[in-house]
C-alpha cells in the first residue's frame, strides 16, 4: 500500500469541482451571511399564508429560492471538510453551514403548523380553483397525513432551533473517527509497516496478504475499542434524541416515528428482518465456500474481503467509467453522456486517496444549477469500480430529480435513496459477467457482488436489528453502556456467522462504533436492503427487455418525492408492498454463492 498523498499533492483533475459551487471560501462565507440576512423577510410571511393563493405562492417561491441556496452551502461545506478532515477551515465552514441551516429550519418552521391551522378544505379548494396550486397537491396530502404529529408553531420553532445541537453528536462521532483517530500501522507478511488510515483501511482488507489484513483489522477496531465509552455515550445520546422526538410527536415507538415520517409501512422493516433471519443459512454456506477457497483452517472476519485468487485485475478510473457506461447503455445516450461528462470533464468525483480524507464514499444532492459530487478513495480495482458505479447511481438520481422537480420534491425519500445506486452496480455487473468469460475475472466480479450483498444484505440488516434493540431499551428506560452494546452486537454477529467464522467478540462487537454515519441517521441501515432488493428487480426488467423498462426507471429518478415511496417504486415497475422483491434478491444472492462455489472448487 502506498503512503496516502497529502491533500495538497492531489492532481486537480482528481478533485471535486468546488469552484462550480462557490469560486472561493470567501464567496461561501458571503453567501452564508446573505442567507441569514434574508431570513426576516421569510419570517414576514408568518400569519399570512392563508390570506390568498397569491401570498401562499409568493411564500413558497421564496422558500424554494432559500432551499436552493442552503443546499449549495451545505454541499460546499460538507465536501470541503470531508476531503481533508484535518483542514480547520473546512471544519469551520461545516460548523457555519450547520448553524446556518439550523437557523433556516427554525425560521421556516412556522409553515406546516400554519397551513394545518388553515384547514384541509381551504387548501383543497385553492388547489381546485388555482392551476398554480396543483403543484402542491402531494405536499398537502403528506402534510395532513402527518397532522396529528405536527405541534404548534412555537413548539415546531423550538424543535427547529434544537436541530443544530442535536446534530452535534453525529459531528462528534465523525470528527473523532475521521480527524482525531490515528491508527497503529498494519504490518505485512514481510514485516514492513503499512500505513493505516480511514482512506486505506478498505484497500488493505482487499489485499491477499493475510498478515496485513489481520493487523489492519485488529488495529482499526482496537482504536474504536480504546474509545468505546465515549462512542457509546455519544450513540446513546443520539438514540435518546430519537426517543425524545418520538415522544414529542406522540408516536408509540421510535421505529414507528421514523418510518411514518417517510411514509414507509412498519411491516416493511419487520418483513425484511424476518426474511433475513430465515436466510441466514445461505450466509453460513457462503462462509464455508470462502474458507475453502482461501484454503484456511479457520475463517476470520478480516478474511471476508480477501481476494479468492492471486490474479490481479487493474481497473484504472477511466476504464471503470468506460465499463460502467457500457453497462448502463440500455438507459440511453442522454443518460450515459451526462454521466461520462460528469466523471471525465466536469469533475463530479473526488477520487484520489489522500491523508485526512474521511472514510467511505458518498454522493451529494444539490440543485440543478450545479453538479452532484462524489467523495471516494479510488484504488484501481474491481471493488473501487463497483463503489464508483454505486455513487454514480446516486448522482444520476440527483441529476434527474433536481432538473425535473422543485426543491419541495427534489429530496427523494431515504427509503428510495439506495435503489438507484445498487441499480448501477447490478447493471454494470450484469454487463461484465456476460462480456468477459475469463474464469478469474468472473470470480473477481462475483467477489464484488458478494462484497456488495454482504454490506447490504448482511451488515445492514444486522445493524438494523441492533438499532431496534437499543432503541427499545432506551424507550423502556434501560441504560446503554459500551459493554452491553458490544455484547449485543457480538451476539447478533455470532448468529450471522453460524459457527463458520471465528468470533472475536470484542472487536466484532465494536462494529456499531465504526458506523459513525449510518447509526446516527435513525433506522437508515435497513433501507439499504430495501434499496438493493428494488434495484435488482428494476435491473432484471431492463436486462430482460421489458418494454419501456429503462424509461420507467428514468421516470422514477425524475419523480423525486412527488409521490409516496410505494407509488415511486410502482413507477419503476416494482411492487415493494409485497415481500417478493426481497425474496427475489436473496435468490440472486444464492445464485452468486452457488456460481462462486463452482468457480472456486478445487
pLDDT of residue 43: 94
High-pLDDT (> 90) share of the chain, % = 79
The predicted-structure confidence for 462-509, as pLDDT tens digits, reads as follows 999 999 999 999 999 999 999 999 999 999 999 999 999 999 999 999
SS3 194: strand
* Residue range 548-576: mean pLDDT, rounded: 96
Asked if residue 209 has pLDDT above 80, the reply is yes
H or E element that contains 156: helix 153-175
Asked if residue 169 has pLDDT above 60, the reply is yes
The predicted-structure confidence for 106-125, as pLDDT tens digits, reads as follows 899 899 989 989 999 999 99
Contacts 24+ apart (CB under 8 A), 28-33: 28/73, 28/76, 28/77, 28/93, 29/93, 29/96, 31/69, 31/72, 31/73, 32/73, 32/96, 32/97, 32/100
Q: CA 376 to CA 353: how far, in whole Å? A: 8
pLDDT of residue 602: 66
- Nearest 5 degrees, angle CA 582-CA 514-CA 284? 45
pLDDT of residue 531: 93
Q: CA 383 to CA 394: how far, in whole Å? A: 17
Asked if residue 189 has pLDDT above 60, the reply is yes
Q: CA 480 to CA 306: how far, in whole Å? A: 34
Q: Which residue has the higher pLDDT, 235 or 312?
A: 235
pLDDT of residue 262: 86
Asked if residue 148 has pLDDT above 80, the reply is no
The single-letter DSSP state of residue 347 is -
Q: Which residues contact 112 (CB under 8 A, 6 or more apart)?
A: 143, 146, 150, 156
Asked if residue 381 has pLDDT above 80, the reply is yes
The predicted-structure confidence for 267-308, as pLDDT tens digits, reads as follows 999 999 999 999 999 999 999 999 999 999 999 999 999 999
Asked if residue 2 has pLDDT above 60, the reply is no
Q: Which domains does the chain have, with CATH numbers?
A: 10-168 (1.20.140.70)
Whose cell is 459513525? That residue is 516
Phi, psi of 375, deg, nearest 5: -110, 130
Amino acid at each position: 500500500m502506498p503512503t496516502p498523498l497529502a491533500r495538497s499533492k492531489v492532481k486537480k483533475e482528481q478533485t471535486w469541482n468546488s469552484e462550480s459551487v462557490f469560486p472561493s471560501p470567501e464567496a461561501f462565507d458571503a453567501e452564508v451571511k446573505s442567507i441569514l440576512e434574508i431570513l426576516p423577510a421569510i419570517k414576514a410571511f408568518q400569519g399570512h399564508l392563508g390570506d390568498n393563493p397569491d401570498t401562499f405562492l409568493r411564500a413558497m417561491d421564496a422558500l424554494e429560492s432559500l432551499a436552493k441556496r442552503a443546499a449549495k452551502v451545505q454541499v460546499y461545506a460538507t465536501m470541503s471538510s470531508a476531503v481533508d478532515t484535518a483542514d480547520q477551515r473546512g471544519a469551520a465552514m461545516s460548523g457555519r453551514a450547520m448553524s446556518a441551516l439550523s437557523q433556516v429550519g427554525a425560521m421556516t418552521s412556522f409553515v406546516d403548523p400554519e397551513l394545518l391551522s388553515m384547514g384541509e378544505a381551504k387548501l383543497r379548494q385553492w388547489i381546485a380553483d388555482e392551476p398554480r396550486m396543483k403543484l402542491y397537491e402531494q405536499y398537502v396530502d403528506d402534510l395532513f397525513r402527518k397532522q396529528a404529529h405536527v405541534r404548534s408553531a412555537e413548539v415546531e420553532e423550538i424543535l427547529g432551533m434544537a436541530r443544530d445541537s442535536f446534530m452535534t453528536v453525529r459531528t462528534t462521532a465523525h470528527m473523532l473517527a475521521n480527524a482525531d483517530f490515528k491508527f497503529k500501522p498494519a504490518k505485512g507478511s514481510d514485516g514492513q509497516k503499512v500505513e493505516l488510515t480511514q482512506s486505506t483501511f478498505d484497500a488493505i482488507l482487499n489485499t491477499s496478504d493475510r498478515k496485513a489484513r489481520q493487523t489492519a483489522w485488529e488495529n482499526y477496531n482496537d482504536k474504536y475499542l480504546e474509545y468505546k465509552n465515549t462512542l457509546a455515550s455519544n450513540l446513546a445520546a443520539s438514540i435518546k434524541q430519537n426517543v425524545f422526538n418520538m415522544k414529542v410527536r406522540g408516536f408509540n415507538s421510535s421505529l414507528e416515528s421514523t418510518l411514518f415520517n417517510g411514509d414507509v409501512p412498519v411491516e416493511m422493516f419487520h418483513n425484511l428482518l424476518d426474511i433475513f433471519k430465515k436466510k441466514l443459512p445461505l450466509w453460513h454456506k457462503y462462509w464455508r465456500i470462502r474458507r475453502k477457497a482461501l484454503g484456511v483452517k479457520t475463517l476470520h472476519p478480516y478474511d471476508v474481503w480477501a481476494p479468492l485468487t492471486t490474479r490481479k485485475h487493474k481497473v484504472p478510473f477511466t476504464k471503470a467509467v468506460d465499463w460502467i457506461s457500457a453497462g448502463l447503455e440500455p438507459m440511453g445516450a442522454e443518460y450515459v453522456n451526462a454521466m461520462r461528462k460528469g466523471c471525465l470533464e466536469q469533475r463530479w468525483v473526488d477520487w484520489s486517496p489522500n491523508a485526512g480524507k474521511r472514510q467511505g464514499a458518498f454522493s451529494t444532492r444539490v440543485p440543478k444549477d450545479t453538479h452532484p459530487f462524489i467523495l471516494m478513495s479510488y484504488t484501481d480495482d474491481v471493488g473501487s469500480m463497483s463503489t464508483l458505479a454505486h455513487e454514480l447511481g446516486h448522482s444520476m438520481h440527483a441529476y434527474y430529480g433536481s432538473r425535473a422537480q422543485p426543491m419541495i420534491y427534489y429530496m427523494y425519500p431515504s427509503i428510495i435513496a439506495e435503489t438507484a445506486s445498487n441499480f448501477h452496480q447490478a447493471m454494470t455487473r450484469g454487463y461484465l459477467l456476460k462480456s468477459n468469460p475469463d474464469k478469474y475475472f468472473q470470480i473477481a466480479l462475483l467477489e464484488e457482488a458478494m462484497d456488495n450483498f454482504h454490506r447490504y444484505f448482511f451488515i445492514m440488516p444486522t445493524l438494523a436489528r441492533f438499532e431496534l434493540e437499543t432503541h427499545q431499551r432506551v424507550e423502556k428506560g434501560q441504560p446503554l453502556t459500551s459493554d452491553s452494546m458490544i455484547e449485543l452486537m457480538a451476539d447478533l454477529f455470532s448468529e450471522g456467522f453460524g459457527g463458520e467464522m471465528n468470533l472475536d467478540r470484542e472487536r466484532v462487537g465494536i462494529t456499531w462504533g465504526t458506523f459513525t454515519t449510518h447509526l446516527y441517521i435513525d433506522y437508515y441501515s435497513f433501507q439499504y436492503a430495501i434499496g438493493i432488493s428494488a434495484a435488482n428487480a428494476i435491473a432484471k426488467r431492463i436486462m430482460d427487455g421489458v418494454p419501456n423498462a429503462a424509461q420507467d426507471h428514468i421516470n422514477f429518478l425524475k419523480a423525486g418525492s412527488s409521490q409516496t415511496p410505494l407509488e415511486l417504486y410502482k413507477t419503476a415497475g416494482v411492487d415493494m408492498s409485497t415481500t417478493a422483491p426481497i425474496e427475489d434478491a436473496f435468490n440472486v444472492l444464492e445464485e452468486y454463492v452457488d456460481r462462486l462455489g463452482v468457480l472456486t472448487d478445487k
